[in-house]
Structure 1
Amino acid sequence: MQLTRIGNEHLTVDVSPMGSEMQSIVTSDGQSWLWDGDPAFWGGRSPVLFPMVGKAPGDHISVDGVRYPMGQHGFARRSEFALAESGADFCRFELRSGHASRSVYPFDFGLVLEHRVDGRAVTVTAEVTNADHRPMPFGIGFHPAFVWPLPGCEGVDHTVTLDNGGQPELIRLSGGLVAPHALPSPFKQGVLTLKPELFDADAMLFPEGAGAGLSYAAGEKAIRFSWENLPNFALWSKPGAEFVCLEPWRGTAAKVGGSDELAERPYAEVLGPGATGRYSFKVELVG
């Protein structure tokens, strides 16, 4: 599919209509900051997760007692969006409900994804509109993967430092579902030094307490990362892969032994008829 390129004198960003997914962030010196999607490890780069974050029990959800098939992280990331508007420094893609979506998610909705460049920063904003006649439950999240090591920072310790200095409890996944017991935080006074073995047991989920901003840094290079209206956070990588995902979410996977009702998933969002919710993250490159 043809990519849409936006940018300025500092950086360029490519966005695909498939999932309205960012494909690259390249600074004017030719350095790439976003994972390249090597399918040997993980083909994603920066997918949007909708109408569900994580897995459902048996890969099915229920809405008012009726069951529907739903794969991990929902269907938006594998749906073709329509380009609604673009300019030199922004693009806006739209996904609207149709027969195919209603067969697995029985609501009329609109999902608009905007990517906008400003200086050395990229802001990605999702707007979800309930176009239905009844309350609409869903989850939404972002899954951007950044290079690890950062450009020119091979052999240097990489840290994630929470703006709030917190030590949020860690939750692990069991079979892709949220395990019942919290673990001690890996953060010490808001700082975590990344090591591959941290991800031997899959993603690290912090349902509460990670705040709304952090710095992912090594040496003189850093990504200032912030988010809005997304209370849950996760870190993820795969053994041997040179990326780390910084993932702000509203909603998580279902709990082990929990309900498959979409509205009963942890931290589910519910919009009333005609309402719109807005969710975003911002990436600012330093160094």
Structure 2
Amino acid sequence: MPTTTRIANDFLSIEVSALGAEMQSATTRDGANWLWNGDAAFWSGRSPVLFPIVGKAPDDTLLIDGKPYPMAQHGFARRREFSLEAADESACRYVLETSEETRAAYPFDFRLIVEHRLDGPALTVSAEVENRGAAPMPFGCGFHPAFVWPLPGAAGRPHTVTLDNEGEPERQPLEKGLLLPQRVPSPFSGGRLTLAPALFENDALVFPQGAGTGLTYAADDGPALSFRFENLPNLALWTKPGAPFLCIEPWHGTAALYDGARELKDRPYTNVLAPGARERFAFTVTFPA
């Protein structure tokens, strides 16, 4: 079994696995766990980090400079064992670096640093990507945390997602995991979306732009989780209809376009990192105190 690291303060206790540097639990001081438990009957993930792609590639194959490489949905980082670089009571930092296995799917020299850090009732999860090679490095990066639905103590209450910017971003539908080119009207009204399982019958709700840099996931007259996003312009919401979780997914990069370009560098919102450069992506979630 992969090793885990626990960080804690007076408000929160967080457990992180070396496998994927993935958060396993998020427990407040009242004993409530706000993170999905990974029940494989629905979905075995809990809070995977997405790298070097977000979403799906056609036929699970990427083209990089015209050469095909195998790449499963959301990339390989979530399936790789990370090394613990540093840990103290309030933070832990895991690292994944290039190996023969990663080169077989992604021919770049990289360093991926994933940190979980507590500050009072807030948790910040960050990913820093470094290009250690001599060529420009295309990639996508994102987060896929799943929180319980209903929230603790809020069974039977309507749940909502409310955008800080009060926006009504257009949605881009998926077909076989790939983005269709058309946009459809927003399910948000004045920045507010009331959640219902039927919304997810055709896969995730993907908002390529316009969702802003923060939102609140809440039960009516009940508990709420507040989110802030850093360098993550794309947003998706997802669950399996009838499953007791909601994924709030801030991304920089999306799935490939259906019948679109297959080159990694041409995927929507792909980053291209110069040799020696680094880029940081992060989300902060604040729990009830």
Task: Decide which moves more: 217-226 or 269-278.
Answer: 217-226
1:242 to 224, 244, 251: 244
1:66 and 2:67 correspond:
yes
CA offsets 1:173-209 (integer angstroms, 9 cap, x no match): 1010001211110000000000010001110000000
Secondary structure (helix, strand or coil) at the match of 2:73 reads: coil
Gaps in structure 2 of 5+ consecutive residues: none
Per-residue deviation, 1:11: 1.1
Q: Which runs of 4+ in 1 moved over 6 A?
A: none
Q: How does 1:268-279 map to 2 (within 5 A)?
A: 268-279=270-281
AA in 2 matched with 1:29: D
Per-residue deviation, 1:41: 0.2
AA in 2 matched with 1:211: G
CA offsets 1:225-284 (integer angstroms, 9 cap, x no match): 111001100000001210000000000000000111000000100000000000000010
Secondary structure (helix, strand or coil) at the match of 1:197 reads: helix
Alignment partners' CA distance in 2, 1:240 and 1:43:
15
Gaps in structure 1 of 5+ consecutive residues: none
Alignment partners' CA distance in 2, 1:136 and 1:163:
33
Report the counterpart of residue 165 of structure 2 in structure 1. 164
Q: How does 1:1-20 map to 2 (within 5 A)?
A: 1-20=2-21
Secondary structure (helix, strand or coil) at the match of 2:161 reads: strand
AA in 2 matched with 1:89: S
Report the counterpart of residue 216 of structure 2 in structure 1. 215
Report the counterpart of residue 264 of structure 1 in structure 2. 266
Alignment partners' CA distance in 1, 2:186 and 2:239:
18
Alignment partners' CA distance in 2, 1:75 and 1:33:
26
AA in 1 matched with 2:266: E
AA in 2 matched with 1:180: P
Per-residue deviation, 1:220: 2.8
AA in 1 matched with 2:288: V
Task: Decide which moves more: 200-209 or 1-10.
Answer: 1-10
Report the counterpart of residue 134 of structure 1 in structure 2. 135
Alignment partners' CA distance in 2, 1:220 and 1:273:
48
CA offsets 1:79-135 (integer angstroms, 9 cap, x no match): 000000000010000000011101110000000000001111110010000001000
Report the counterpart of residue 233 of structure 1 in structure 2. 235
Per-residue deviation, 1:286: 2.2
AA in 1 matched with 2:128: E
Secondary structure (helix, strand or coil) at the match of 2:105 reads: coil
AA in 1 matched with 2:120: G
Alignment partners' CA distance in 2, 1:83 and 1:225:
26
Secondary structure (helix, strand or coil) at the match of 1:286 reads: coil
Question: What's the TM-score once normalised by structure 2's chain length?
Answer: 0.98
1:195 and 2:196 correspond:
yes
Question: What's the TM-score once normalised by structure 1's chain length?
Answer: 0.99
Report the counterpart of residue 285 of structure 2 in structure 1. 283
Secondary structure (helix, strand or coil) at the match of 1:58 reads: helix
Report the counterpart of residue 41 of structure 1 in structure 2. 42
Secondary structure (helix, strand or coil) at the match of 1:103 reads: helix
Alignment partners' CA distance in 1, 2:172 and 2:277:
32
Alignment partners' CA distance in 1, 2:30 and 2:167:
35
Report the counterpart of residue 257 of structure 2 in structure 1. 255
Alignment partners' CA distance in 2, 1:116 and 1:230:
18
Alignment partners' CA distance in 1, 2:72 and 2:116:
25
Calculate percent identity across the aligned residue pairs.
58
Alignment partners' CA distance in 1, 2:253 and 2:260:
14
Q: How does 1:97-112 map to 2 (within 5 A)?
A: 97-112=98-113
Secondary structure (helix, strand or coil) at the match of 1:77 reads: helix
CA RMSD of aligned residues (A): 0.7
